[in-house]
Amino acid sequence: MKGAMNDRNESQRGDRQYLTFCLGQEYYGIDILRVQEIRGLEAFTRIPNTPEYMKGVLNLRGTIVPIVDLRAKFGMTSGEYGKMTVIIVVEVLEKVLGIVVDSVSDVLNVESEQIQSAPEFGSHIDVGFISGIARVDGRLIALLDIAEALSDEEVENPKEAEMILASEG
C-alpha cells in the first residue's frame, strides 16, 4: 500500500527517468518513455539530397528507419565513430528515428526539483531543444526535448520536397 502511495506521489511530483548519453564531453538525457531500443552501429544506406546530419536509413525488423547524427544536427564538430558509438532508436511524433550518439550511460531518476531551466548561453545547441538542466551526482545533464530537437527534420524538409515537386514540369 505504501509503495503504491509512493508511486502516485512520484508521478505527481513529476519524477521522470532519463536515458543519459554523451556527445563529445557533454551529457544529455532523453525521456526514457521515448526510447524504443539501443542498437550497435550498423551500415546505413545513404539517401540522396539530404542534409549532412541525415546519415541514411536502416532496416529495423522490416521498417525503414532514418538515422540522424545528433552531433551534426547540433552543429558540433563531427566525431569518429568508435566502439562505444551506438544508435538510440526513439519514437517522436509518431515516427521512429535513430540517433547516433558517442556512448550511452545510465538511466537516471530525475526529480523535478533537480531540474533547472536552461541557461541562455553556454551550450552548443539551440536552447529551444533543451527542456532543462539536471544536476545528478555532481554531473550536469542537459535534458533534451527530443521532439523539438528532431522536429526540424519534419518541419523544414516537407517544404523543400514540395518545392522540388512543384517545380517539376
Partner 1 sequence: MKASSGFRNTYLQEAADQLEILETGFLALEQDPRNADVLDSVFRAAHCIKGSSGTFGFSGIASFTHNCEEALERVRSGRLVLNPAMARLFLQFCDCLRLLLDAATRGVACDMTRIRSVSQQFQEILDASEESAPEASTGADWRIEWTPPRESFRRRVDVLRLLHELLEQGRTDVKLETDDIPSLPDLDPQDCHLAWSLQLSDAPPLSDLEDIVDFARGGFIVESLNASDSQPITPVEPSASLAPDIAARLLVDTASIRVDVGKIDHLINLVGELVTTQSMISDLGRSFDPERFTMFQERVDQLERNTRDIHERVMSIRMLPIGGVFNRFRRVVRDITLSSGKDVRLDFHGADTEIDKNVIESITDPLTHLVRNAIDHGIESAEERLKFGKPEVGTIRLEASQEGGSIVLSVADDGQGLDTKKILAKAVKHGLVDPQAELTDEQIQELIFQPGFSTAGEVTGMSGRGVGMDVVQQNVVQLGGSIEISSTPGKGSRVTLRLPTTLAILEGLMVRVGDDVFIPPLTSIVEFFRPSPEEVRSLLGQGETICYRGACLPVLRLQEIFGCESKAADSSAGLLAVVEVGDVRACLLVDELLGQQQVVLKSLETHYRRVPGISGASVLGDGRVALILDMPGVFRLAKRKKLLAAHGVRQKAETRG
Please give the Cα distance from 119 to 123 (Å, whole number).
8
Residue 19 and residue 104 in contact, taking contact as beta carbons nearer than 8 Å: yes
Size of the site for partner 1 (CB under 8 A): 31
- Candidates 22, 38, 41, 57: give the one binding partner 1 (CB under 8 A): 57
The correct pick among 12, 63, 82, 120 for binding partner 1 (CB under 8 A) is 63
Q: Based on the shown chain and the rule CB under 8 A, indicate whether residue 158 belongs to the binding site for partner 1.
A: yes
**Complex with partner 1: residue 3 or 62, whichever CB lies closer:** 62
Q: Which stretch binds partner 1 (CB under 8 A): 37-45, 69-77, 109-117, 128-136?
A: 37-45
What residues between 78 and 137 interact with partner 1 by CB under 8 A? 95-97
Q: Which residue reads 535513430 in cell numbers?
A: 98
141 touches 134 (CB < 8 A): yes
Angstrom CA distances, 165 to 78, 90, 120, 168, stand at: 32, 29, 39, 5
Q: 3-class SS at 13?
A: helix
Closer to partner 1 by Cβ: residue 97 or 125: 97
Spatial distance between the Cα atoms of 25 and 42, rounded to a whole number of angstroms: 23
Interface with partner 1, residue 46, by CB under 8 A: yes
The site for partner 1 (CB under 8 A) is made up of 43-50, 56-59, 62-66, 95-97, 153-154, 157-158, 161, 164-169
